[in-house]
Amino acid sequence: MTEQKSPRRRGRPRGASDSRARILAAAVDDFAEKGYDGATVRSIAARAGVDSALVHHYFGTKADLFAEAVGIPLRPDIDVPRILAGSRDGVGERLVRYVLKAFEQPEVRRRGVMLIRTAVGSRLTTPLLAGFLSRELLSRVARSLDTDDADLRAALVASQIAGMLIARYVLRLPALAGASVDELVGRVGPTVQRYLFD
């Protein structure tokens, strides 16, 4: 634990960095126990023995706090809607490239694989990833599509992206693990594009 605030001898609130660490630990426990939808900023604050306002002060929204708790230096809930807002041509390829380039970073891959293993492997933590995906990612993608079947389109995209990550980085099927990012962008990008727009 490093100090988060610059040290100030007098007047500095006792245990400011302690509160931050306590909130983060409470968030990890609360998310693991209740899933993404069940945990709230309020329940996390109560568990940490602090006011909700302090949680917002240190971490912002629930999605911010989740990203911090999971420890992945990546914000798909912010980046993906940005990709979708660009020109419609090649949205699929840009999305696949974004995910693969992220997972090619060892630190993202390490934590991402851990998160996938945990979420798929345990009945207890499955709702964590499913809830985050549904609320923060798929619903935003769906909103940007504005069709009757937008939720299904977004979920189909998630199924192909998740399957690609699992086959390449978890199961490590040789042909997929050995393919280049460009090769996979060229093969999987059109699938994502079709699910979104065709």
Q: Which residues bind a copy of itself (CB under 8 A)?
A: 116-123, 126, 129-130, 133-134, 138, 151-152, 154-156, 158-164, 166-168, 170-176, 179, 183, 187-188, 190-191, 194-195
Strand (E) or helix (H) holding 188: helix 181-197
Q: How far is CA 112 from the centre of its chain?
A: 9
The minimum distance between CB 60 and a copy of itself, in angstroms, equals 26
d(CA 71, CA 83): 22
Q: Closer to a copy of itself at the Cβ: 25 or 120?
A: 120
The minimum distance between CB 123 and a copy of itself, in angstroms, equals 8
d(CA 93, CA 86): 12
**Which amino acid makes up residue 72?**
I
Q: Closer to a copy of itself at the Cβ: 72 or 161?
A: 161
The minimum distance between CB 122 and a copy of itself, in angstroms, equals 6
Give the side-chain half-sphere CA count within 13 A for 3: 8
Q: Closer to a copy of itself at the Cβ: 13 or 178?
A: 178
